[in-house]
Structure 1
């Protein structure tokens, strides 16, 4: 299936695996790209050296195009951009709108730049700055998310920008791909669906927790920003938390994170900068990266900070990336043929 996305990045199918921290490493990204989609390495949770190693590991596994996701607000973002350029990465992905100078540097080097946004105005801004495409995530998506559903946000952005738009939030099968194309998108991006594959490095006990999940909720108690996660007992306790409970949680999870109190408070202050966070949220925010790691890497499903899109409630298997992408494309073909005049 040829679309503006496949033409832009050189993948065979208009399917993107999103850059999920502690999940989308070299193994998952390579498996996705080898199967014809666009795999993205989540380097924001890696050191520069780890990121470089992950890029080279993907290269050893496949010669298909892939991307790397970094934080545009990281102090070492320019260094990471230079690594991507030097290592010949095809796509630069950003969870936050990248600075204008980062986009310019990447474009000068021939790297395709694809930021992720959750609002039309953000899409318009990065398009004006020279972004090559944009991933638009509706409120159904997992992790940090906005309030507008994909079915409302996607057509707004398609109409507002003149670059390829990739739809995210609520996609998991071929019918969804066809629907996104009908809205004018150039493809779909999926996180939760790729997290729940045989190629995902997430521990089996955590995958079982995802497959058994029936509900998600959007909370600001994790790090002060709306965050869609599995509705675990831990998350529900955070929803009821006050400062004292946050302090107790901070003490408990400081041991898991390995942070000192000084490091935790310093990280909390950094995350609080420019945001209206309570001190309870600050204490939790400082622990969030390591709590995510504890679940996604160490298998601590009891910690409960597990980002998930609403589609988690309808997922019940763990296909390989190759099986998943082949299935989605077959479903899309069948859906197109079933349309009047198809």
Structure 2
């Protein structure tokens, strides 16, 4: 047991990344039942849709789980009230500062864990009274920052006193051991859970992850400061071609409008946004969530036993 497992009442210090339109009750409950922390993604949902997802998750697990707040959304305050009403005790946050909501969340006894891309923001979150931080490197899938996981995690650990969870580039026991060596007390993983049996995405999306190699992902959106990592396909090729030209952000956004839904709901692997991290090249098998987590720690123990420095 470490500070993360003790704080959250979970068996393994493993967070399942809050993947938009993907991290729903099916996957979240499976991760929590397996001893990790399942995290519901609230991005794009109404407050009542979040409430429904919370209740569906509770029907499938009695273990701790979290809800992720995308702080850029207009209905964050309304969602915060739903979380409190429904008794959610762990919240992760992204895309902004949770400062406006901290008094209300702390009054309700909610554990708050922001996802951060820099030491400066990690320190600010500690000053706000947050309980831990997730240091996410740009190897991760979806919306990313500029720093890679190794220098980010190590420097965040060296500059804050609260627990640090390493995210981006972890999909096996070797990655887990590396994160611990950097001083992290847990890991957050998203890409590997795309290949979980319980993950509610089409088989075509899962197969795209299984087929990926180390160079299969690409980052779009850097031109206008909104980088997103996805598996390379017709959509990303078209986007990058136009992004290199004199084109407005509005015109580029038209190309990606509804692209995530195409991937997640329709299984369109050519024109959909297949968000995944660079570590996808290590994901080669669809497995139950429980097996993913247990295999991760079994391999980590083998890696540790074989180290000689």
Alpha-carbon distance, 1:280 to partner: 3.0
Q: Distance in 2 between matches of 1:137 and 1:26?
A: 23
1:286/1:158 CA distance change after superposition, 3 Å: farther
Give the distance between the partners of 1:142 and 1:118, measured in 2 at CA.
14
**Deviation beyond 4 Å, 4+ runs, structure 1:** 221-224
Bigger mean CA offset, 233-242 vs 115-124:
233-242
The number of residue pairs the alignment matches comes to 307
Kindly report which structure 2 residues correspond to 1:280-295, keeping only aligned pairs within 5 A, or say none. 280-285=248-253, 288=256, 290-295=258-263
Q: 1:9-48, aligned counterparts within 5 Å? A: 9-48=8-47
Equivalent position of 2:219 in the other structure:
218
The C-alpha deviation readout for 1:133-175, integer Å capped at 9, x for no partner, is 1111112111111222111111100011111100001001122
Give the unaligned 5+ runs of structure 2.
none
1:126 is matched with which residue?
125
Cα separation, 1, equivalents of 2:254 and 2:190: 24
Change (3 A) 1:149 1:213: same
Structure with the greater alpha carbon radius of gyration? 1
For 1:293-332, list aligned pairs within 5 A: 293-332=261-300
Indicate the residue corresponding to 1:239 in structure 2: 240
User: Deviation string for 1:80-105 (max 9, x for gaps)?
Assistant: 11111111112111122333121222
**In the aligned structure 2, how far is the partner of 1:122 from the partner of 1:94?**
12
Post-superposition Cα deviations, 1:7-56, rounded to whole Å, max 9, x if no partner, equal: 11111001110110011000000000000000000111222111101101
CA distance in structure 2 between the partners assigned to 1:186 and 1:108 by the alignment: 26
User: Does residue 165 of structure 2 align to residue 166 of structure 1?
Assistant: yes
Q: Distance in 2 between matches of 1:161 and 1:28?
A: 31
1:72 corresponds in structure 2 to: 71
Q: Secondary structure at the match of 2:105?
A: helix
Q: Measure the CA separation in 1 of the matches of 2:223 and 2:212.
A: 19
Alignment-derived partner of residue 63 in structure 1:
62
- Mapping 1:139-154, distance limit 5 Å: 139-154=138-153
Task: Compute the displacement of 1:290 (Å).
Answer: 1.9
CA distance in 1, matches of 2:99, 2:303: 40
Q: What is the CA–CA distance in structure 2 between the aligned matches of 1:223 and 1:39, rounded to whole Å?
A: 32
* C-alpha distance in structure 1 between counterparts of 2:61 and 2:134, whole Å: 24
Report the CA distance between 1:187 and its aligned residue: 0.3
TM-score, normalising length: structure 1: 0.85
User: 302-311 vs 198-207, which deviates more?
Assistant: 302-311
- Write the distance in 2 (CA, Å) between the matches of 1:289 and 1:188: 31
Stretch deviating more after TM superposition (280-289 or 50-59): 280-289
In structure 2, the CA distance between the partners of 1:221 and 1:159, relative to structure 1 (3 Å rule), is closer
Q: Return the TM-score normalized by structure 2.
A: 0.94
Q: Could you tell me whether the CA contact under 8 Å between 1:154 and 1:167 is conserved in 2? A: yes
Q: What's the offset of the Cα at 1:129? A: 1.0
Cα distance in 2 for partners of 1:314, 1:99 equals 34
- 1:235-290 C-alpha deviation (Å, 9 max, x unpaired): 012111169x9xxxxxxxxxxxxxxxxxxxxxxxxxxxxxxxx8632233356462
Give yes or no for contact 1:9–1:65 (8 Å, CA) kept in 2.
Answer: yes
1:231–1:179 CA distance, 2 compared to 1 (3 A): same
Stretch deviating more after TM superposition (28-37 or 198-207)? 198-207
Greater alpha carbon shift after TM alignment, 329-338 vs 317-326: 329-338
Partners of 1:189 and 1:116 in 2: CA distance: 10
